[in-house]
Amino acid sequence: MTILQHVVDHTIKKFRSQTANLLTITNLGLGGFAILFVLQGQFGLSVLAICLAAIFDRLDGRIARKMNIESEMGKQLDSLCDIISFGVAPSLLLYQSTLIDFGIAGAVFTIIFIACGAIRLARFNVSEAPGYFVGLPITAAGCLLTISHLLTGSIPEPAFMFIILTLSVLMISNFRVKKM
């Protein structure tokens, strides 16, 4: 084997081992863009970025399992990225578009959602629950919160306080959700 062939093989192997992590970082990047779009008042683009982040979040785990490249670092990285894309971004979207009108209560409910998401992710990272999740996964909660934004103007504003609080409680609940 030539030195060049060895370098190429090593590079391909290294790149292959990081494929899932690159998808996870894409999830994070989309979550970051979603936050920036919210700050610019571009709520529709924020919704789009969060939905795309969910697709990459779904792909990273599947790819890691399929390529047999799962790692503890990948699991931790996924959770750190998920708190941004499905905790901070959706709650900031709803806060800026609706909950801001509720003053301190709207801000507190926004922070509660982020905190419950962090608790949910931490619990997931330290638990062994083969075949099911305990509590509503943050990706699902964040996507539901994001989609609820599309109801702005169609349902009374106080309903959004109920939605964010309900999703928060569901994330830290003890019910089981079968993994798909």
According to the model, what pLDDT value does residue 94 have? Answer: 98
The pair phi, psi for residue 176, each rounded to 5°, is -105, 140
Residue type, 102: F
Domain total in the chain = 1
The pTM (predicted TM-score) of the whole model is: 0.89
Q: Which CATH number characterizes residue 146's domain?
A: 1.20.120.1760
According to the model, what pLDDT value does residue 128 have? Answer: 74
According to the model, what pLDDT value does residue 176 have? Answer: 87
Q: Which domain covers residue 58, as residue numbers?
A: 3-178
Cα(140)–Cα(54) distance, integer angstroms: 9
Mean pLDDT per 10-residue interval, the chain, length 180 residues: 68 70 94 98 98 94 82 88 98 98 98 98 85 90 98 96 98 87
